[in-house]
Structure 1
Amino acid sequence: MLQVQDYLLFVFLIIAFLIDIKHHKIPNWLSLSGMLVGILYHLVTNGLDGLIFSFFGLLVAGAIFMLLYLFKAIGAGDVKLFAAIGAIVGVQLVLYMMMYSIIVAGLIAIVILLFTKTFLQKLTSAFFHIIGSILSKDLQGLEEFKTTKSTRFPFMYAVLPAVAITYYYSFWAV
């Protein structure tokens, strides 16, 4: 049975999705609003236990995705987005959502690579940039490659299916 927090999450994600698709950025005001709404909702409904529930969700999601951000796998907006999701749904659900979003993002990346005409060219170019960066011990060439030649897509394309998969397996597939 869906609860108020689930509907808060759905509204938050729809707004984030629309903004990310249009502007390729998740604004700080939206992420901070999601964090604040999650914390306040759980504080009001469950008191100190709710505050701890929400805070740990925010902390765990933010910390794990911060590691991915440090490795330049995702953007800073995605870190804050998942911190807000964690504040709304707590640790358990946000961990599932994170796992499924990474899997879905990998599948999307494979599909993009397979259906673009330049798959072999990009793969070869990426390989040589990685080898060049390792041999020269300079990551500047790899950074330049990522920003100019690599194929990117908004991570929200993976987040919405991941949330749907999480809810399906957590609530309806029992």
Structure 2
Amino acid sequence: MENILLIAVLLICTITDIKSRKILNIVTLPAILIGFIYYFSTNGLDGILFSGKGFLVGFGVLFIPFAMGGIGAGDVKLLAAIGAMKGAFFVIYAFLYAAIVGGLIALFILIHRNELKGFLVRIINSVFFLTFSKSKDSIQVSKSDLAPSFPYGVSIALGTIAMLFMEGTI
């Protein structure tokens, strides 16, 4: 039952992220609450701990990228909701699969836009500058120096679906 709800949440978040680049609180916050309520009603205090650990792990793995401005708050809340609904073990692997999918999507976008060579040159120049420069205080990174931006909720959804397949629940 929780897998059907999880797939519905992922589908809604994927659509809204693609259309408006937003993952809505009206979807993620009830999903978090439902995860806590479900596990509390089925397993009591152990269920709250299970859901709570999953929530904290899901929130924690994306908090630093969010704090650095590389990812949106909706992505963090979506992964936290996945953790609350499926637990810490599940959300760690879903995150790893999402990272792989996200990297492949970014690579595809770079190749499609013929920007791969320029991106690699910027990376090599940055590494060279960081390695041999005496003054590291004046390093400025702009958004154009980073990989292309895309709705990361898509990667999170695909990574989560991959994990559902791996655990044999789909």
Q: TM-score, normalised by structure 2?
A: 0.83
Letter in 1 for 2:2: Q
Matches within 5 A, 1:11-160: 11-125=8-122, 135=135, 137-138=137-138, 141-142=140-141, 145-146=142-143, 151-160=148-157
1:49–1:156 Cα change, 3 Å: same
Distance 1:23 1:30 in 2: 14
The number of residues matched between the two structures is 167
In the alignment, which residue of structure 2 is the partner of 1:170? 167
Letter in 2 for 1:56: K
Paired residues of 1:62 and 1:79 also in contact (CA < 8 A)? yes
Identity of aligned residues (%): 32
Unaligned runs of 5+ in 2: none
Which structure 1 residue ranges, 4+ long, deviate > 4 Å from structure 2? 125-136, 147-150
Letter in 2 for 1:137: D
1:153–1:35 Cα change, 3 Å: same
1:15–1:90 Cα change, 3 Å: same
Paired residues of 1:8 and 1:88 also in contact (CA < 8 A)? no
1:116–1:95 Cα change, 3 Å: same
Q: What RMSD over aligned residues (CA atoms) do the two structures have, in Å?
A: 2.6
In the alignment, which residue of structure 1 is the partner of 2:3? 6
Distance 2:37 2:144 in 1: 38
Distance 2:157 2:97 in 1: 10
Distance 2:22 2:138 in 1: 28
1:69–1:149 Cα change, 3 Å: closer
Q: TM-score, normalised by structure 1?
A: 0.81
Letter in 2 for 1:35: I
Distance 2:67 2:128 in 1: 20
1:149–1:68 Cα change, 3 Å: closer
Unaligned runs of 5+ in 1: none
